[in-house]
C-alpha cells in the first residue's frame, strides 16, 4: 500500500488552488464591474462614476444622488416628447 503524505500534496498543489481561486474572483469582479458600468450608462451618466463606489462614504452619497435626482436619460426623453431639442 502506498503511503501518501497529504501535507506534502497540499504544499505542492496549494498554490494552484489559490491561483485558481484568485482567477475566479477577478473574473467575477470584472463581470460585476462591467454590469455596474452598463447600468450607470443606461441611466445617462458616465461609466466613470463606478470609481466613486470604491470610496466608502462617498458611495452612499452617490447612491442617494442617483436615487433622488432626475436622470439625464429621463430629461432627454421628456424634452423629446415636448418637441424640444435635448440639452446635452
Q: State what percent of residues in the chain have pLDDT above 70.
A: 83
**Inside any domain, residue 86:** no
CA distances from 8 to 5, 20, 75 (A): 6, 19, 64
Domain that holds residue 27: 6-81
pLDDT reported for residue 34? 95
**Inside any domain, residue 61:** yes
pLDDT range class, residue 78, cuts 50, 70, 90: confident
**Inside any domain, residue 76:** yes
Please give the tally of structural domains in the chain.
1
Question: Cβ contacts of residue 85 below 8 Å, gap of 6+?
Answer: 79
pTM over 0.85: no
Chain segment 18-52, per-residue pLDDT in tens: 888 899 999 999 999 999 999 889 888 889 988 88
pLDDT reported for residue 67? 86
pLDDT range class, residue 7, cuts 50, 70, 90: low
**Inside any domain, residue 88:** no
Whether the predicted pLDDT of 64 surpasses 70? yes
**Inside any domain, residue 87:** no
**Inside any domain, residue 42:** yes
Amino acid at each position: 500500500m502506498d503511503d501518501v503524505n497529504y501535507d506534502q500534496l497540499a504544499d505542492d498543489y496549494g498554490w494552484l488552488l489559490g491561483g485558481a481561486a484568485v482567477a475566479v474572483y477577478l473574473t467575477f469582479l470584472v463581470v460585476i464591474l462591467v454590469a455596474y458600468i452598463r447600468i450607470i450608462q443606461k441611466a445617462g451618466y458616465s461609466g466613470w462614476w463606478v470609481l466613486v463606489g470604491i470610496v466608502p462614504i462617498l458611495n452612499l452619497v452617490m447612491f442617494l444622488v442617483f436615487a433622488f435626482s432626475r436622470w439625464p436619460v429621463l430629461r432627454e426623453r421628456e424634452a423629446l416628447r415636448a418637441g424640444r431639442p435635448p440639452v446635452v
